[in-house]
């Protein structure tokens, strides 16, 4: 399915007259977080020479944070990063030409200790809840919307909120300083591998809100004009990345080479990270998912009172790369 999506993109670019093998620059500058899963793929691409087989040159720039990546992309020091489509929509609404192509459907999750008395969202009332990503985090806004819909509960007022960095929140949960943590998928996976319990994840939250499609949460983000001018480089990278993902998920030998990049020594955690990463591979991407994304955007606009989405609750044109 993913290769058909990539092939369709490439054929569409050829039809539009943007591809010329003799003149297109085959280099692509990618910004990456040191411990992100994109780093896994880039390492495999280099190890297996998948970039060379596609006739491209990849130049990587280490990033200190996700925000640093956005700044680097906007400033033109990198051509591509991994980010979320909500940010892309916000930028499109402000006139930027950034666009999004799906990378992963992995979602964050609400995690509690195995023996916790918390059995549902309503039980979060009065509890100390750790939240990664700040007050405008997508999962937090959607969780608030679900609590309001199902229980008439305003979590923003009824829970004792603690905002913090993902690893710190995990640590505080393990130390008993928090009752529950709403964290990113990889940090949630680490807790689950240590026998903590998943109460609900991003998919479950969305289903509770009436959104059934599995909408990718993260994607490759790049400038539309850049993509039009460098179609060969983009297509080559996407094919190399898809092959790298397949190797990571299907080859234990390749995975053993990736393991050091996880910075984890516990095999349970290593395996959990691999499993969740592979479960997040894109299986379907089309009009159904795009329509669902528009529904999510409207929900976020209402829950966040426009602070995350901007003035309009309507998804701008061009958010998703055609």
- Please give the Cα distance from 187 to 164 (Å, whole number): 13
Residue 10 to residues 219, 222, 235, 238, 290: CA-CA distances in angstroms?
Answer: 17, 16, 6, 10, 20
pLDDT (tens place) for every residue of the chain, 322 residues total: 544 444 444 444 434 444 333 334 599 999 999 889 999 999 999 999 999 999 999 999 999 999 999 999 999 999 999 999 999 999 999 999 999 999 999 999 999 999 999 999 999 999 999 999 999 999 999 999 999 999 999 999 999 999 999 999 999 999 999 999 999 999 999 999 999 999 999 999 999 999 999 999 999 999 999 999 999 999 999 999 999 999 999 999 999 999 999 999 999 999 999 999 999 999 999 999 999 999 999 999 999 888 888 888 899 999 999 8
Question: Among 3.40.50.2300, 3.40.50.300, 2.30.110.10, 3.40.190.10, what is the CATH number of 2-105+214-303?
Answer: 3.40.190.10
Q: Both ends of the chain: CA-CA distance in Å?
A: 16
- CB 248, CB 257: distance < 8 Å: no
- The bridge status of strand 128-132 relative to strand 160-164 is parallel
Residue 136 to residues 19, 89, 125: CA-CA distances in angstroms?
Answer: 40, 15, 20
Full-model pTM: 0.89
Domain 109-208 in the same topology as domain 2-105+214-303: yes
Q: What are phi and psi of 284, to 5 degrees?
A: -150, 135
Query: Around Cβ 230, how many Cβ atoms within 10 Å?
Result: 25
Task: Indicate the domain borders of the chain.
Answer: 2-105+214-303, 109-208
**CATH architecture assignment, domain 109-208:** 3-Layer(aba) Sandwich (3.40)
What does the pLDDT read at residue 249? 98
Inter-axis angle of helices 287-303 and 85-93, to 10 degrees?
70
Q: What is the pLDDT of residues 240-250, one digit of tens each?
A: 999 999 999 99
53 Ramachandran zone, left/alpha/beta (phi>0; psi -120 to 50)? alpha
DSSP letters, 172-238, are HHHTTS-SEEEE-HHHHHHHHHTT-EEEEEHHHHHHHTT--S---SEEEEEEHHHHHHTHHHHHHHH
154 Ramachandran zone, left/alpha/beta (phi>0; psi -120 to 50)? beta
What does the pLDDT read at residue 317? 94
Selection from 36, 107, 24, 92 nearest residue 69 by Cα: 36
What does the pLDDT read at residue 25? 56
- CB 209, CB 292: distance < 8 Å: no
E strands present in the chain? 27-33, 57-63, 80-84, 98-104, 109-112, 128-132, 160-164, 180-183, 197-201, 218-223
- Please give the Cα distance from 165 to 178 (Å, whole number): 14
Q: What is the DSSP letter of 107?
A: -
What percent of the chain clears pLDDT 90, i.e. is strictly above it? 87
What does the pLDDT read at residue 5? 47
- CB 179, CB 118: distance < 8 Å: yes
What does the pLDDT read at residue 12? 44
**311 by DSSP, 3-state: which?**
coil
- CB 28, CB 79: distance < 8 Å: yes
């Amino acid at each position: 399915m993913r290769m058909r999506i990539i092939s369709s993109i490439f054929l569409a670019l050829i039809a539009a007259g943007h591809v010329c093998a003799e003149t297109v620059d085959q280099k692509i500058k990618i910004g990456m977080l040191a411990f992100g899963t994109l780093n896994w793929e880039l390492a495999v691409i280099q190890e297996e020479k998948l970039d060379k087989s596609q006739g491209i040159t990849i130049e990587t720039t280490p990033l200190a944070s996700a925000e640093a990546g956005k700044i680097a992309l906007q400033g033109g020091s990198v051509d591509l990063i991994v980010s979320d489509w909500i940010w892309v929509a916000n930028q499109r609404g402000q006139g930027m030409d950034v666009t999004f192509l799906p990378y992963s459907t992995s979602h964050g999750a609400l995690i509690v200790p195995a023996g916790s008395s918390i059995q549902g969202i309503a039980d979060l009332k009065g509890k100390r809840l750790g939240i990664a990503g700040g007050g405008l985090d997508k999962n937090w806004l959607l969780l608030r919307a679900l609590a309001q819909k199902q229980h008439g509960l305003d979590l923003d007022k009824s829970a004792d909120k603690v905002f913090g960095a993902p690893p710190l929140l995990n640590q505080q949960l393990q130390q008993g300083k928090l009752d529950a943590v709403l964290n990113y998928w990889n940090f949630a996976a680490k807790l689950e591998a240590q026998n903590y319990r998943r109460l609900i994840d991003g998919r479950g939250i969305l289903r509770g809100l009436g959104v059934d499609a599995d909408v990718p949460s993260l994607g490759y983000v790049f400038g539309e004009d850049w993509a039009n001018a460098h179609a060969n480089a983009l297509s080559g990278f996407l094919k190399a990345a898809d092959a790298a993902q397949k190797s990571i998920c299907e080859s234990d030998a390749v995975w053993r080479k990736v393991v050091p990049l996880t910075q984890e020594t516990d095999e349970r955690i290593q395996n959990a990270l691999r499993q969740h990463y592979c479960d997040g591979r894109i299986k379907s991407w089309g009009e159904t998912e795009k329509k669902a994304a528009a529904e999510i955007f409207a929900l976020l606009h209402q829950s966040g009172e426009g602070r995350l989405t901007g003035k309009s609750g309507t998804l701008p044109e061009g958010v998703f790369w055609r």
